[in-house]
Amino acid sequence: MMRLELVKRPQRSMLFSALSPFIAFGLTIVAGAIMFALLGVNPLSAFRIYFIEPISQVWQLHELAIKAAPLILIAVGLSVCFKANIWNIGAEGQFVLGAIVGSIIPVFFPQFEGPLVLPLMLLLGMVGGAAYAAIPALLKTRFGTNEILTSLMLVYVAQLFLDWLVRGPWRDPQGHGFPQTIQFNDSGILPELMPDAGRANWGFIFALLAAVAIWILMSRMLKGFEVRVLGSSPRAGRFAGFGLNRMVFFAFLLSGALAGLAGISEVSGAIGQLQPVISPGYGFTAIIVAFLGRLNPLGIVAAGLVLALTYLGGEAVQSALGISDKVARVFQGMLLFFVLGCDTLIHYRIRLIGLAAPKLEAAPKLKEAR
Amino acid sequence: MSANHDSTTLLEVRGLTKIFGTLTACDHVDLNIAKGEIHALLGENGAGKSTLVKMLFGSLEPNSGEIFWNGQPVRIASPGAAKKLGIGMVFQHFSLFEALTAAENIALSLDDGSPISSIAAKARALSYSYGLPLDPESLVGDLSVGERQRIEIIRCLLQTPQLIILDEPTSVLTPQEADKLFETLERLRSEGKSILYISHRLEEVKRICDRATVLRHGKVVGHCNPRQETASSLARMMVGNEVKAVVRAPAEGIETAPALLDIRALTRKPATPFSIPLKNINLRVRAGEVIGIAGVAGNGQGEFFESVSGEVLQQDAGSVRIRGKDAGGLTITGRRLMGAAFVPEERLGHGAAPRMKLSENLLLSRHATDGKAFVGSGGMVKSGAVYSASQRIIEAMDVRKSAPDPEAAALSGGNLQKFIVGRELDRRPSVMVVNQPTWGVDAGAAAHIRQALIELARSGSAVLVISQDLDELFEISDAIAVMHNGELSKPLPIAEATFEKIGLLMGGAEPGHAEHTLETA
């Protein structure tokens, strides 16, 4: 009989903390190679199609930016939550609600045009996402419910609500029965950055601005300090006079607003109307982005680009090799698994404990050490 | 030390070494315990006492060195192996289930399948024969700390050990309870059992121990007969140099000074089934005086501190008044802004965030009171100002550290405590409330902190010190009140207070039997 025990390391290696995402990426590649081989595809050519070809031309980089923008926007908001030890798993739902609320203007007032339309839509999108995120925050602070469960379950409510809207009350009457709203008028479309080169729109700029703003918040401002204190030692936070309930609302509203902004940017930019499905799981993939980026906004920008590539690669291998684009989900899952695994092994080491008396003269037991 | 086996020697340790990372916690420690002696293991916090006994009890494995039991070399791989040899241990922190009875707790550790009723009968017989009466049917949650310790001792004795290790046993006892324990220990010695007695309380070591081994920085610095030493010569061996005595100038004109901290009929319901309710607590701390609150741990001191600091709010705003204004409805930030400062008992995780730098930990308690100096427009932290203020505190309190601005967890307990106390003193608060100011702090640093608290009071502030260390309270207080079971006695002026009087109150004698003469003035 053997059992495994995690023993806390006396000190963390700074080097490996920094290397962890890269090691995780390397392990994902190895595991991915095994997966491609099992699928009967030459791993090398599959990787070329998956990771290289989708970004070999300028217009493809624009596609990458389109996919990365919502991931980065959502992930920087989530990084604040996670740093505060608050677990908002429902960004996907806040994304959808942001898209719905922001679309009220182009759907109900198609005649309303001008430069005010877009800022109003974006604002409403943020309000919608924040309001939806306020529900789990309220439930947690009022009734002590677990925010992981409530925020996650609200995702499905939001998705079904959108589905009902576009099939029912919000359906385009001239749409030949297709489940979608009318096309937004030109004032409601997020402009492209360089229309001649590719489709990338202002959503990517929003994402970069949000990353810089959150970085300043977390590293330079008292509020960011409050987030870090409450997240790492709540009792010390209470001693500092910081309120945990206020922090729950702050983190949920902030991340909800950013997810909502991502949602309305997506429908007013890349899509141009509401339809039953507006996200390939951005809200969930952003959780991976946040951790792969070490919960650091600048790291999240890089991680967002990597994860965006897994989406593009999935589409590429589907069309080139006939493999399901669910491969993208597998890659994303492996990345999260390996990055969390690496992080755990940086903080702890594994000890095998045999039930017979161990002869481990060289290995001092460290768990008693402080 | 002779390698030949001497039949009077029970346990011999040679060259025992334990290394944690870069720290050598025990460095070639030699120890020799004879049959039928009470052997003291002396040393300051961090000297390596706990590491040494953990190796003897099998919960830590030495890097090198030898252990001989009755002359035979042995390897103690686990607490189970230690028990089999005949080594029993009573830990400083108990491991008892509060929701089970004493007998059930004992049965859990015996693990031999005998029925609870026979264990209860054995425990009862043993407890009375050693003068430690214990009702095995009682729920641990209902017992006092002293009674819980009896369970631990009985649990240890039931395994008929030859050597009993006691880790700081009197730190949770009233003086009277400690006397009873000493009688039991002497009885055990007369039966030929050996006791390894770990303590930093020199008077009790002088009183009951036959020999002493003194550790400093992981090394044995001497073996001696404590009865032939004085308390100060023992302290010198432990600390390595003379400890400066604390000077307490007489407080003058306190009778007419205004009460800066005024607690009136403070009452609090228990927050959890095992926390202590506070019952009608009244206390005034005037400008210029230090009031000490004594009491056995777990009698409501933590709950009281939370209520006074504002981490928990009061229903009645008038039950805590700071500088003449109601503060009961204010948060800890509001109370700080009125001029109060607080130092909690737990350093890591309460008074300081372990993984944050010292400068960030300065901001922790002072972001509001020093908002102008530390926080700029738009909520940006002025990290330069915070850093230089933290360096000023580090210098003023002589905080020793390995980096310019290390994480709080990287400091030793004493140095972190100096920083946390210094962080508040630096504000010159008019009300200072400190819970266990020198718990786990070495003698030199403790003297520094105590002196600073007295000087703060003499400069016109009100200082309230909650402590389990009676010596400390007698050293610094102008009056001592005792907390027992959530009630607070009237403060005894220091001139009238004796260990005996305070000890009786700690044990639950009628509170308020002594009038506080300052109170009536």
Domain chopping of chain B, boundaries: 9-239, 257-339+429-521, 348-428
- B433 close to B305: Cβ distance less than 8 angstroms: yes
Helix axes of A222-232 and A244-266: crossing angle, nearest 10 degrees: 110
d(CA B361, CA B368): 13
Q: Are strands B87-90 and B259-268 parallel, antiparallel or unpaired?
A: unpaired
Interchain CB contact of B517 with A (< 8 Å): no
Q: Which among A10, A220, A233 has the least Cβ separation from residue B349?
A: A233
Q: Which helix (H) or strand (E) holds B291?
A: strand B290-294
Lowest-confidence segment of B33-37, B41-45, B348-352, B422-426 by average pLDDT: B41-45
d(CA B475, CA B477): 6
A241 contacts in chain B (CB < 8 Å) = 331-333, 336, 368
What is the structure's pLDDT at B79? 87
- Confidence tier at B95 by pLDDT (50, 70, 90): confident
In this predicted model, what pLDDT tens digit does every residue of A120-164 receive, in sequence order? 999 999 999 999 999 999 999 999 999 999 999 999 999 999 999
What is the structure's pLDDT at A15? 82
What is the structure's pLDDT at B389? 95
d(CA A296, CA A309): 20
- Confidence tier at B241 by pLDDT (50, 70, 90): low
What is the structure's pLDDT at B25? 83
User: Looking at chain B, which residue has its C-alpha nearest residue A228?
Assistant: B356
pLDDT greater than 80 at residue B521: no
- Confidence tier at B434 by pLDDT (50, 70, 90): very high
Measured between alpha carbons, how far is residue B54 from residues A43, A47, A324, A336, B79 in Å? 54, 54, 58, 40, 9
What is the structure's pLDDT at A116? 93
User: Looking at chain A, which residue has its C-alpha nearest residue B374?
Assistant: A222
**CB-based contacts of A310, cutoff 8 Å, min separation 6:** A328, A331, A332, A335
| Site from B358, B380, B387 to mutate, A interface, most A CB atoms within 10 angstroms | B380
Q: Which of residues 261 through 290 in chain B touch A, CB cutoff 8 A?
A: none
- B29 close to B220: Cβ distance less than 8 angstroms: yes
- Min Cα separation A163/chain B (Å): 42
B253: which 2 tokens?
Answer: 């004109």
A213 contacts in chain B (CB < 8 Å) = none
- B432 close to B424: Cβ distance less than 8 angstroms: yes
Q: Are strands B219-224 and B211-216 parallel, antiparallel or unpaired?
A: antiparallel
For the residues B60-78, what does the mean pLDDT come to?
Answer: 91
User: What's the one-letter identity of residue B429?
Assistant: P
Q: Which helix (H) or strand (E) holds B23?
A: strand B23-34
B363 contacts in chain A (CB < 8 Å) = 222, 225
- In degrees and rounded to multiples of 5, residue B291 shows phi and psi of -105, 130
- Supply the ipTM of this predicted assembly: 0.82
d(CA B521, CA B512): 17
For the residues A67-96, what does the mean pLDDT come to?
Answer: 97
Characterise B298 by phi-psi region: left (phi > 0), alpha (psi -120 to 50), beta (else): left
d(CA A70, CA A262): 5
- In degrees and rounded to multiples of 5, residue B21 shows phi and psi of 55, -115
Instruction: Say if domain B257-339+429-521 classifies as CATH 3.40.50.300.
Output: yes
B390: which 2 tokens?
Answer: 């933290």
Residues belonging to chain A with any Cβ–Cβ distance to chain B shorter than 8 Å: 10-11, 220-223, 225, 228-229, 232-233, 235-241, 243, 357-358, 360-361, 364-366, 368-369
pLDDT greater than 50 at residue A186: yes
Helix axes of A244-266 and A202-220: crossing angle, nearest 10 degrees: 160
pLDDT greater than 90 at residue B481: yes
Q: Do A236 and B332 touch (CB under 8 A)?
A: no
- Confidence tier at B6 by pLDDT (50, 70, 90): low
- B174 close to B142: Cβ distance less than 8 angstroms: no
What is the structure's pLDDT at A74? 98
A294: which 2 tokens?
Answer: 């070490």
| Site from A222, A227, A353 to mutate, B interface, most B CB atoms within 10 angstroms | A222
Q: Can you give the length of chain A in residues?
A: 370
Residue B274 or A184, more confident? A184
pLDDT greater than 70 at residue B463: yes
Interchain CB contact of B381 with A (< 8 Å): yes
What is the structure's pLDDT at B257? 86
- Min Cα separation A221/chain B (Å): 4
For the residues A215-237, what does the mean pLDDT come to?
Answer: 95
What is the structure's pLDDT at B197? 93
Q: Do B20 and A10 touch (CB under 8 A)?
A: yes
d(CA B89, CA B210): 19
How many angstroms from the chain centroid is the CA of residue A330? 16
For the residues B240-256, what does the mean pLDDT come to?
Answer: 73
d(CA A69, CA A307): 11
Interchain CB contact of B344 with A (< 8 Å): yes
Residue A359 or A347, more confident? A347
What is the structure's pLDDT at A169? 92
For the residues A60-73, what does the mean pLDDT come to?
Answer: 95
Q: Do A10 and B368 touch (CB under 8 A)?
A: no
Q: Do B356 and A232 touch (CB under 8 A)?
A: yes
- A121 close to A105: Cβ distance less than 8 angstroms: yes
d(CA B310, CA A170): 52
Q: Do B380 and A221 touch (CB under 8 A)?
A: yes
What is the structure's pLDDT at A220? 93
pLDDT greater than 50 at residue A366: no
In this predicted model, what pLDDT tens digit does every residue of A298-313 receive, in sequence order? 999 999 999 999 999 9
Interchain CB contact of B413 with A (< 8 Å): no
Place of tokens 């580090």: B394
Instruction: Based on DSSP, count helices (H) and strands (E) in chain A, helices before strands.
Output: 14, 2
Helix, coil or strand: residue A107: helix
Lowest-confidence segment of A56-65, B86-95, B316-325 by average pLDDT: B86-95
Helix, coil or strand: residue A113: coil
Q: Which helix (H) or strand (E) holds B195?
A: strand B194-199
User: Looking at chain A, which residue has its C-alpha nearest residue B354?
Assistant: A233
B358 contacts in chain A (CB < 8 Å) = none
In this predicted model, what pLDDT tens digit does every residue of B398-414 receive, in sequence order? 888 778 899 998 887 77
- In degrees and rounded to multiples of 5, residue B145 shows phi and psi of -60, -40
User: Looking at chain B, which residue has its C-alpha nearest residue A362?
Assistant: B63
For the residues A63-78, what does the mean pLDDT come to?
Answer: 96
What is the structure's pLDDT at B212? 92
Helix axes of A91-102 and A282-292: crossing angle, nearest 10 degrees: 130
- B285 close to B475: Cβ distance less than 8 angstroms: no
User: What's the one-letter identity of residue A190?
Assistant: L
Lowest-confidence segment of A328-332, B210-214, B296-300 by average pLDDT: B296-300
Secondary structure E strands in B35-177: 38-42, 64-69, 72-74, 87-90, 163-167
d(CA A24, CA A27): 5
In this predicted model, what pLDDT tens digit does every residue of B137-195 receive, in sequence order? 888 887 877 788 889 888 888 888 999 999 888 877 788 888 888 999 999 999 999 99
Mean pLDDT of the residues in chain A: 90
Helix, coil or strand: residue B43: coil
B342 contacts in chain A (CB < 8 Å) = 239
- In degrees and rounded to multiples of 5, residue B344 shows phi and psi of -80, 170
- Percentage of chain B beyond pLDDT 90 is 46
- Confidence tier at B510 by pLDDT (50, 70, 90): low
- Min Cα separation A357/chain B (Å): 8
Domains B9-239 and B257-339+429-521 agree in fold: yes
What is the structure's pLDDT at A85? 95
A223 contacts in chain B (CB < 8 Å) = 379
A228 contacts in chain B (CB < 8 Å) = 353, 356
A2: which 2 tokens?
Answer: 């053997």
Put the strands of the sheet holding B259-268 in their side by side order: B278-286, B259-268, B320-322, B325-326
Q: Do A239 and B311 touch (CB under 8 A)?
A: yes
The angle at the Cα of A77, spanning A75 to A82, to the nearest 5 degrees, equals: 85
Instruction: Say if domain B9-239 classifies as CATH 3.40.250.10.
Output: no
Interchain CB contact of B378 with A (< 8 Å): yes
- Confidence tier at B429 by pLDDT (50, 70, 90): very high
pLDDT greater than 70 at residue A356: no
Q: Could you tell me which of A274, A323, A290, A314 has the C-alpha nearest to residue A214?
A: A290
Interchain CB contact of B211 with A (< 8 Å): no
Interchain CB contact of B115 with A (< 8 Å): no
- A306 close to A114: Cβ distance less than 8 angstroms: no
d(CA A130, CA A134): 6
Residue B510 or B391, more confident? B391
pLDDT greater than 60 at residue A288: yes
Mean pLDDT of the residues in chain B: 87
For the residues B11-18, what does the mean pLDDT come to?
Answer: 92
Q: Do B356 and A228 touch (CB under 8 A)?
A: yes
d(CA A97, CA A77): 16
- Confidence tier at B244 by pLDDT (50, 70, 90): low
**Burial category of B114 from C-beta neighbours within 10 Å (exposed 0-12, middle 13-18, buried 19 and up):** exposed
Rg, C-alpha atoms of chain A: 23
Interchain CB contact of B354 with A (< 8 Å): yes
A221 contacts in chain B (CB < 8 Å) = 378-381
d(CA B134, CA A9): 42
Characterise B21 by phi-psi region: left (phi > 0), alpha (psi -120 to 50), beta (else): left
d(CA B483, CA B28): 43
Q: Are strands B290-294 and B479-484 parallel, antiparallel or unpaired?
A: parallel
pLDDT greater than 80 at residue B486: yes
Q: Do A232 and B364 touch (CB under 8 A)?
A: no
pLDDT greater than 80 at residue B31: yes
Q: Do A240 and B349 touch (CB under 8 A)?
A: no
In this predicted model, what pLDDT tens digit does every residue of A3-55 receive, in sequence order? 777 877 766 777 887 888 889 989 999 999 999 999 888 999 999 999 999 99
**CB-based contacts of A296, cutoff 8 Å, min separation 6:** A79, A215
Q: Where are the domains of chain A?
A: 1-41+323-370, 63-322
A341: which 2 tokens?
Answer: 């695994």
pLDDT greater than 60 at residue A363: no
B59 contacts in chain A (CB < 8 Å) = 368
d(CA B44, CA B215): 8
pLDDT greater than 70 at residue A80: yes
A243 contacts in chain B (CB < 8 Å) = 331
Q: Do A239 and B363 touch (CB under 8 A)?
A: no
Cβ-Cβ pairs closer than 8 A, A with B, add up to: 85
Measured between alpha carbons, how far is residue B176 from residues A240, B467, B489 in Å? 39, 18, 18
**CB-based contacts of A155, cutoff 8 Å, min separation 6:** A89, A90, A92, A93, A96, A283
- B49 close to B198: Cβ distance less than 8 angstroms: yes
- B422 close to B396: Cβ distance less than 8 angstroms: yes
Q: Do B21 and A369 touch (CB under 8 A)?
A: yes
**CB-based contacts of B66, cutoff 8 Å, min separation 6:** B13, B14, B15, B16, B73
B365 contacts in chain A (CB < 8 Å) = 239-240
What is the structure's pLDDT at A357? 43
- Confidence tier at B5 by pLDDT (50, 70, 90): low
B19 contacts in chain A (CB < 8 Å) = 364
User: What's the one-letter identity of residue B82?
Assistant: A
Q: Which among B54, B63, B355 has the least Cβ separation from residue A232?
A: B355
Q: Do A10 and B365 touch (CB under 8 A)?
A: no
Residue B439 or B514, more confident? B439
CATH numeric code, A63-322: 1.10.3470
Bridge-partner residues for B88, per DSSP?
B164
- Min Cα separation A224/chain B (Å): 9
pLDDT greater than 90 at residue A358: no
What is the structure's pLDDT at B517? 39
pLDDT greater than 50 at residue B104: yes
Place of tokens 């800890």: B332
What is the structure's pLDDT at A62? 94
Residue B56 or B445, more confident? B56
Q: Can you give the length of chain B in residues?
A: 521
The angle at the Cα of A246, spanning A242 to A248, to the nearest 5 degrees, equals: 110
B332 contacts in chain A (CB < 8 Å) = 238-241
- B287 close to B339: Cβ distance less than 8 angstroms: no
- Min Cα separation B94/chain A (Å): 16
What is the structure's pLDDT at A198? 87
- B176 close to B507: Cβ distance less than 8 angstroms: yes
